[in-house]
């Protein structure tokens, strides 16, 4: 090899090391990795399935502006995956070309009736009402130090039922109430599950014992608090109508309060099996009766007046037989046990005008 060629080779290697020349893992113009949406998929599920990290969903949403609601995906749609983020070996991805039409013809803004509630309420902390006894999937054994009350960023040790958990898995820290009484029937109602925060598993110490870190803290967290599998909640709520005449009532209030105000979380003893769906709006009512003097001097009769509207409740989530809602408007204090009736609306109530619409950013 001549002296000149040796010098040129050395210069090239030096420039390569300094980053002047970049080596791309994917040839220029090559098609990106894609994922085909399956029935029931959400962006959270896809990120968990493809990357093992559900919290990447906002970046994936940004990569795919045709998606108007990350919680409602259309089976068969092809999603472009993130560049430079490693995928799991078992991830169902392909190099198939993403269709250019009509998939990206939708506007970036969500359709009318889709609202971002995340600025008004911590959606990960809504909790739910369970008609049956709740069996935790684990428990907080101890903090890493001597702290009695734990918060975001604290390391801790947890015991899980079964040894199937792995690093990166997330669990919700919760509080499970004693058996509650129904405020209307006075019979046994169920258990109120309050969400306190979220942990992420760091490593397995031994069988069923894991080290974890608190990622988010909504309320005070202590040793002995039970754990449930984490289920992410969409920040987007798309308004929908319900069947005429659908009724229910407030059966429990967050933190077991006695009265309800605006943006309070409430729980009711009907759910998906009874026709209640996320995005429905209920009127919160007050029954009214008045006494009318009878013909005889001492006699009185009662008659019913039209119900008074105390406020409005938006359904946030449901189980088979219970629902969780947020009071969007309250004209005055609302008692536990207040009846609710589905609202037949043509345009969203005026209080939605101050809530930002969901958009693909």
Mark whether 314 and 259 lie in a shared domain.
yes
328 in a structural domain:
yes
Of 82-96, 97-111, 182-196, 314-328, the poorest mean pLDDT is in 97-111
Mark whether 208 and 267 lie in a shared domain.
no
Q: How many residues does the chain have?
A: 361
25 in a structural domain:
no
Mark whether 278 and 316 lie in a shared domain.
yes
Predicted confidence band of residue 20 (pLDDT cuts 50, 70, 90): very low
Residue 75, both tokens? 């089976």
* Predicted pLDDT at 360: 52
Report the CATH number that the domain containing residue 260 is assigned in CATH: 2.40.30
Count CB atoms within 10 A of the CB of residue 261: 13
Distance (Å, whole) CA 292 – CA 299: 9
Of 66-70, 309-313, 337-341, the poorest mean pLDDT is in 66-70
What are φ and ψ of residue 49, in 5° steps?
Answer: -70, -40
Instruction: Please identify which residue in the block is written with the tokens 């608090």.
Output: 225
DSSP labels, 46-69: HHHHHTS-GGGHHHHHHH-TT-S-
Mark whether 166 and 138 lie in a shared domain.
yes
* Predicted pLDDT at 73: 78
Mark whether 241 and 345 lie in a shared domain.
yes
Nearest alpha-carbon partner for 349 in 261, 233, 241, 243? 241
Q: Total structural domains in the chain?
A: 3
Percent pLDDT > 90 in the chain is: 44
Residue range 324-340, pLDDT digits in tens? 999 999 988 899 999 99
Range of the domain at 200: 127-229
Mark whether 198 and 257 lie in a shared domain.
no
8 in a structural domain:
no
10 in a structural domain:
no
Cis peptide before 129 (omega within 30 of 0): no
66 in a structural domain:
yes
344 in a structural domain:
yes
Whole-model pTM: value is 0.67
């Amino acid at each position: 090899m001549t002296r000149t060629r040796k010098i040129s080779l050395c210069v090239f290697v030096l420039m390569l090391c300094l980053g002047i020349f970049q080596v791309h893992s994917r040839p220029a113009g090559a098609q990106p990795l894609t994922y085909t949406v399956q029935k029931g998929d959400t962006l959270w599920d896809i990120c968990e399935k493809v990357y093992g990290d559900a919290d990447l969903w906002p970046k994936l949403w940004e990569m795919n502006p045709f998606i108007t609601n990350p919680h409602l995906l259309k089976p068969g749609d092809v999603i472009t995956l993130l560049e430079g983020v490693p995928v799991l070996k078992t991830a169902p991805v392909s190099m198939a070309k993403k269709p250019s039409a009509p998939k990206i013809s939708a506007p970036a803004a969500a359709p009318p009736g889709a609202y971002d509630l995340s600025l008004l309420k911590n959606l990960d902390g809504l909790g739910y009402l369970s008609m049956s006894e709740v069996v935790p999937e684990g428990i907080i054994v101890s903090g890493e130090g001597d702290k009695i009350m734990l918060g975001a960023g604290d390391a801790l040790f947890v015991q899980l039922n079964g040894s199937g958990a792995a690093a990166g898995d997330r669990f919700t820290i919760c509080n499970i109430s004693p058996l509650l009484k129904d405020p209307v029937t006075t019979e046994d109602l169920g258990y109120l599950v309050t969400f306190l925060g979220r942990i992420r598993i760091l490593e397995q110490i031994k069988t069923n014992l894991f080290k974890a870190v608190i990622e988010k803290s909504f309320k005070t967290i202590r040793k002995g608090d039970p754990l449930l599998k984490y289920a992410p909640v969409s920040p987007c709520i798309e308004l929908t109508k319900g069947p005429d005449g659908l009724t229910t009532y407030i059966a429990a209030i967050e933190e077991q309060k006695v009265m309800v105000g605006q943006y309070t979380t409430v729980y009711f003893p009907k759910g998906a099996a009874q026709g209640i769906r996320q995005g429905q709006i209920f009127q919160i009512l007050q029954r009214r009766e008045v006494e009318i003097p009878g013909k005889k001097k001492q006699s009185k009769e009662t008659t019913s007046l039209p119900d008074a509207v105390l406020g409005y409740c938006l359904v946030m989530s449901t189980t088979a037989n219970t629902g969780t809602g947020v009071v969007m408007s309250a004209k005055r204090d609302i008692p536990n046990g207040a009846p609710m009736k589905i609202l037949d609306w043509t345009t969203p109530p005026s209080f939605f005008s101050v809530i930002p619409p969901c958009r693909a950013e």
